[in-house]
Chains A and B, each alone.
With several copies, the nearest count.
Chain A
Amino acid sequence: MRLAKLTLSGFKSFADTTEFTFDAPVIGIVGPNGCGKSNVVDAIKWVLGERSAKSLRGSAMIDVIFAGSATRKPLGCASVTLTFDNPVLDRSVEVAPSAPAMETIEDEQESDDGEAEGSAQVRRGLVVHRALPVDHDVVEVTRRLYSDGRSEYLINGKKVRLRDIRELFMDTGIGTDAYSIIEQGKVAALLEANPAERRAILEEAA
């Protein structure tokens, strides 16, 4: 699984639709103070299911919507999409446990032309393993917030709940409070945390 692309529109200072393609091993984001670099990190945290406005440096969640500038009017919606490559890791033939007449298979050898003589319906399932439990090569996760307070969460265009997004990333090491995102100014936080908080971070990796 690989984070391939980030698309922001109306999120914080990104009034216009902006894309970041992550197609290199180490990507640097540079630029003067106050231009929007850390807003990119906030966008990723937000779409991964962040629920606290404070941890996105705002006072209310509505603060993530572009609030206008000297030359632009405020917008009505903030939208962020993360696009993941989600290739097949391996395929394996698993016989779905729900096949009731499991034992009949042993007796009835398939005849050469491949037709089983038995009466039981055989449910052979081709189960594919992917890092994200969605059976597509590409997974798009979207979060939207409208200025009237309505939220939308989508996985590959299908509406889901925030909980579904958080569950999608369980056990992958990605998440809003995992060890994979170090926010600005918080680099020493892992060290200065109390012993119980350090334990929680390690449990995330277990």
Chain B
Amino acid sequence: SRVRFEETFNAVRTNFGGTDGMFRRLFGGGSADMFLVPDEEGNVDWLASGIEIRAKPPGKEPRVISQLSGGEKSMTTVALLLAIFQSKPAPFCILDEVDAALDEANTERFASSLHGFLDRSHFIVITHHKRTMQHCHKLYGVTMPQRGVSRRVAVRFEQVGNDGRLSKDAVE
């Protein structure tokens, strides 16, 4: 229904681009916004128009979001996702290596931002970054002691070696 969509859109817009929104929290400043794309005559239709996104990291003036860097795009997407979560939290959220393009500082910001949502949802995060692992309450290792056959083990942070391999005692 149109009213529900309008309410959700406005809520997410504030959660995303507001002064205390997710974008400014993840980037430590800057500005972001989302708006409905008008048709040729300049009319906006709540029931059909598409959604455009603007994102300006602090101190920068990108004209379009395609100019953002790989890491900036990942952080902007996470900000948008968490903004949607704020207005309608899904019971759980699965993130598969969303931190792949992030440097250490942004990985830290991303992983700690999840803690603000744990009253309503829980997260399952697949990662190779040690920083993200440190923000997990529990770690599962998936290895292949027999080539081609996956086995699940419970691991502690200290058992994840620097080379990404799981230590022997975790695998038993």
Listed in ascending order, the chain A residues whose CB lies under 8 Å from chain B are: 1-3, 12-16, 18-20, 22-41, 44, 54, 57-59, 63, 67-72, 131, 172-174, 178-185, 187-192, 194-199, 201-203, 205-206
Contacts and interface: CB of A to CB of B under 8 A. Distances in A.
B69 interface: yes
B109 to A, nearest CB: 10
B25 interface: no
Given A18-B151, A206-B8, A33 B69 contact: yes
Size bracket of the B interface? 35 or more
Contacts of A201: 84
A173 B123 contact: no
Nearest to A206: B8
Contact of B63 (A59, A70, A191, A195): A59
A59 B96 CA distance: 21
Interface in B57-114: 57-78, 80-81, 84-85, 87-98, 100-103, 105-106, 114
A26 to B, nearest CB: 5
Interface of B: 4-5, 7-9, 12, 37, 49-53, 57-78, 80-81, 84-85, 87-98, 100-103, 105-106, 114-115, 118, 122-128, 132-133, 135-144, 146-152, 155, 160, 164-166
Contact of A36 (B49, B136, B144): B144
Contact of B80 (A18, A59, A181, A190): A190
Contacts of A190: 77, 80-81
Contacts of A29: 124-127, 139-142
A34 B75 CA distance: 11
A32 B75 CA distance: 13
Contact of A202 (B9, B62, B96): B9
Contact of B98 (A34, A69, A180, A187): A187
B103 A33 contact: yes
B94 A195 contact: no
Contacts of A63: 63-64, 67
A205 B87 contact: yes
B51 A199 contact: yes
Given A30-B160, A205-B87, 16 more contacts: A2-B91, A16-B149, A22-B124, A27-B138, A29-B126, A29-B142, A30-B140, A32-B166, A33-B101, A40-B142, A70-B58, A70-B147, A179-B84, A181-B94, A187-B74, A203-B5
A22 B7 CA distance: 32
A110 to B, nearest CB: 41
Contact of A13 (B95, B106, B124, B148): B148
30 contacts: A12-B150, A18-B151, A28-B132, A30-B160, A31-B142, A31-B166, A32-B103, A33-B72, A33-B75, A38-B69, A38-B96, A39-B150, A58-B66, A59-B64, A63-B64, A63-B67, A69-B61, A69-B148, A70-B148, A173-B89, A178-B90, A182-B95, A184-B126, A187-B73, A187-B77, A187-B78, A191-B73, A194-B50, A199-B50, A206-B88
A15 B70 CA distance: 20
Contacts of B95: 182
- The 3 lowest CB-CB distance pairs between A and B, nearest first, are A195-B50, A69-B148, A33-B71
